[in-house]
A = this chain, B = another copy of it.
Amino acid sequence: MRVAEFDREFVLRQAMLAFMQFGYAKTSMQKLTQVTLLHPGSLYAAFGNKKGIFLAAIEQYQTDRNEQFTALFCPTQPVLPNLRCYIDSIVSECITGDAMKVCLLTKSISEVEGQDAQINEVLSANLNAYENALTQQFSRAKSQNEIQNVRSAQQLARFFAMSLYGLRTYALTNRDADALALLADDIFNAIK
């Protein structure tokens, strides 16, 4: 007879940013109440427990990323320039140094791998979906003769995803714009 007052998307994006910045273990419920502007009772009523907030935040993260992805990789445009834009946007995120410099999925799987089966499954599924989305793009690039590479679209997607994971990790200790730009060039050249 009464509707929830808080904005679910706002709450989950705030939680998402906290998890990206501090990691799962170091994001306390107190910190979550602060950034979401919700009290413990409301958070527990809405999401069950800390793990529930985390899984919901991951879902929100993936939703947001999918939107960006489909917006950037418009099917009427050639793939390669879009891929280039995509890499450059990631380099930008790495340089600015805010929470988005990390990928919530890879940061989380690196932290909690082997600790919770459910979290592992969700993260794996999302990372696989990401790889599949990239495979589709490489497949289209090949069919449009944008890429004359002998490697399969899946293989190119895997290499590309792997490289981006590495790029974000590398950027954690070297935020030099030129160095990251050169690495981005290398990645781009390696998938052409």
Contacts and interface: CB of A to CB of B under 8 A. Distances in A.
Interface stretch (A29-37, A39-47, A156-164): A156-164
A162 B167 contact: yes
A112 B190 CA distance: 31
Contacts of A102: 110, 113
A170 B179 contact: no
B111 A173 contact: no
A72 B138 CA distance: 37
B166 A162 contact: yes
A127 interface: yes
Interface of A: 21-23, 25-26, 102, 106-107, 109-115, 123-124, 127-128, 151, 155, 158-159, 161-167, 169-170, 172-174, 179, 182-183, 186, 190
